[in-house]
């Protein structure tokens, strides 16, 4: 089953705990090369349902926005 | 005699030991907390402008799921409010406005951009991503939050976890046990520790009652005896931030009290 999530969900699909405010922090720290498990621990995410929400997420909206940004650039000379 | 002990408490979580009650009572508490305690969530949204890449429905769904801090004492449930209006009044509805335009380059709209008419009812966290906007895109809307119950929609559930387990009782028979450490290795929660030539039980509250230790023990009968107290419970609650955890426990008891009173009243009518 493919789930179309183009932006980080506000809550965990399974338990309903808030995850929408943790994504940016998580993504930034992963980019800096930190260990994903340690980052999740430090964000206080204990259950594997919430952990997979961040671990498996792809922020597709960033890719979509590139098209709009490019269009904007070409409009203005 | 019911005994309740707070073992561990943080801002949003609490762990209680409840002794002297049976499983039906603890399950009642759990179900009341999940389904009957009212909390605030966005219910109606008027969209004035939305030029973002997310369509209106997704945007509104995200707003609805955003947990809001709840002021239970100042607001009524819409169905119990004296106004009886479909649109609601000041006692049963809170308006939150969102008006964001990306003026300089791409920006993210956060829950902190929501402007509430009541500072006591606002998103639990200011950093929840709602949508991302490219330059010149705009979101302008008015959201109406109402009290509601978890049995109607999960967005009104004040907890993200609410569960209990029986209190584990682990005994090791010193005469039978030869400290082979099979139970230490097999236990997923590291309940057993080898001290000298003996196995000792630590962190008994971490035990999940899986009985792997009993199966792993080579002795017959097993040197480890795992049972549980049927009248003692470990109760864990994790709030979404909508209400403080102590309030959740107290409120669930109030609701139980109310339900029993109305049950008694109706029972008397039957007689």
What are the pLDDT digits (tens) for A51-63? Answer: 999 999 999 999 9
- Residues on chain A touching B134 (C-beta within 8 angstroms): 65, 68-69, 72
Whole-angstrom Cα distance, residue B138 to residue B122? 22
Kindly give the residue spans of alpha helices, DSSP state H, lying in chain B.
23-35, 56-65, 182-186, 212-216, 245-270
Residue B161 in tokens? 């976890």
Residues of B with Cβ-Cβ distance to A20 under 8 angstroms: 62, 66, 111, 125, 128-129
Average confidence (pLDDT) over B32-57: 95
E strands, chain B, where?
A: 3-9, 13-19, 39-50, 94-101, 107-110, 115-116, 129-133, 138-148, 159-172, 192-195, 198-201, 224-239
Tell me the pTM.
0.89
Full set of structural domains in chain A with CATH: 20-75 (1.10.10.60)
- What CATH number has the domain spanning B3-35+160-237? 3.30.1360.10
Specify the pLDDT at position A77: 65
Residue B257 pLDDT exceeds 60: yes
B65-106 per-position pLDDT tens digit: 999 999 999 999 999 999 988 888 999 999 999 999 999 889
pLDDT digits (tens, 9 = 90+) for B121-132: 999 999 999 999
The answer to whether residue A76 scores a pLDDT higher than 70 is no
Q: What is the average per-residue pLDDT within B137-166?
A: 96
Residue A33 pLDDT more than 80?
yes
pLDDT bin (cut points 50, 70, 90) of residue A2 is very low
Task: Select the residue of A7, A9, A68 nearest B54 (Cβ to Cβ).
Answer: A7
- Name the residue of chain B whose CA is nearest to A47's CA: B161
ipTM for the predicted complex comes to: 0.90
Measured between CB atoms, does B128 come within 8 Å of chain A? yes
Position A4 scores a pLDDT of: 60
The number of beta carbons lying within 10 Å of the beta carbon of residue B109 is 23
For position A68, what pLDDT does the model report? Answer: 92
The proportion of chain B whose per-residue pLDDT surpasses 70, expressed as a percent, equals 100
Class of domain B39-152: mainly beta
- The H-or-E segment that residue A30 falls in is helix A23-31
C-beta separation of B154 from A44 below 8 A: no
Domain boundaries, chain B: 3-35+160-237, 39-152
Mean pLDDT confidence for A8-31:
95
Residues 81-100 of B with CB under 8 A from A: none
Residues of chain A in contact with residue B241, where contact means CB-CB under 8 angstroms, are 18
What residue in B sits closest to A7 (Cα-Cα)? Answer: B131
Average pLDDT over residues B199-208: 92
Picking from B54, B62, B161, the nearest residue to A10 by CB comes out as B62
Query: Residue B221, preceding bond cis, omega within 30 degrees?
Result: yes
Distance CA B185, CA B193 (A): 10
- How far lies B252's CA from each of A17, B18, B120, B151, B249, in Å? 20, 15, 22, 14, 5
Percentage with pLDDT > 70 across chain A: 92
């Amino acid at each position: 089953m493919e789930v179309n999530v183009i932006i980080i969900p506000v809550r965990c699909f399974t338990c309903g705990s808030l995850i929408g405010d943790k994504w940016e922090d998580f993504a930034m720290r992963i980019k800096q090369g930190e260990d994903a498990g340690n980052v999740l621990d430090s964000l206080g995410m204990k259950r594997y349902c919430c952990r997979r929400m961040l671990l498996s997420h792809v922020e597709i909206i960033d890719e979509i926005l590139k098209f709009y940004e490019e269009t904007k650039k070409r409009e203005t000379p | 005699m019911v005994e309740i002990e707070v073992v561990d408490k943080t801002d949003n979580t609490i762990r209680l030991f409840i002794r002297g009650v049976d499983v039906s009572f603890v399950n009642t508490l759990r179900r009341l907390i999940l389904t009957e305690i009212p909390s605030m969530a966005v219910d109606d949204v008027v969209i004035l402008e939305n030029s973002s890449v997310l369509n209106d429905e997704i945007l509104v769904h995200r707003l609805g799921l955003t947990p809001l801090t709840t002021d239970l004492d100042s607001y009524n449930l819409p169905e119990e409010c004296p106004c009886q209006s479909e649109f609601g009044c000041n006692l049963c509805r809170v308006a939150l406005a969102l008006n964001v335009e990306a003026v300089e380059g791409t920006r993210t709209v956060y829950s902190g951009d929501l402007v509430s008419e009541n500072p006591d009812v606002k998103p639990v966290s200011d950093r929840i991503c709602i949508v991302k906007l490219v330059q010149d895109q705009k979101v302008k809307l008015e959201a109406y939050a109402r009290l509601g119950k978890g049995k109607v929609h999960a967005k009104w559930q004040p907890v993200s976890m609410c569960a209990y387990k029986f209190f584990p009782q682990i005994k090791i028979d010193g005469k039978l046990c030869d400290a082979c450490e099979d139970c230490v290795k097999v236990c997923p929660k590291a309940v057993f520790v080898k001290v000298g030539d003996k196995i000792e039980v630590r962190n008994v509250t971490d035990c999940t009652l899986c009985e792997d230790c009993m199966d792993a023990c080579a002795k017959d009968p097993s040197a480890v005896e795992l049972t549980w107290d049927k009248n003692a419970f470990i109760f864990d609650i994790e709030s979404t931030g909508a209400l403080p955890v102590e309030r959740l426990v107290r409120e669930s008891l109030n609701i139980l009290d109310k339900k029993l009173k109305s049950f008694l009243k109706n029972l008397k009518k039957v007689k």
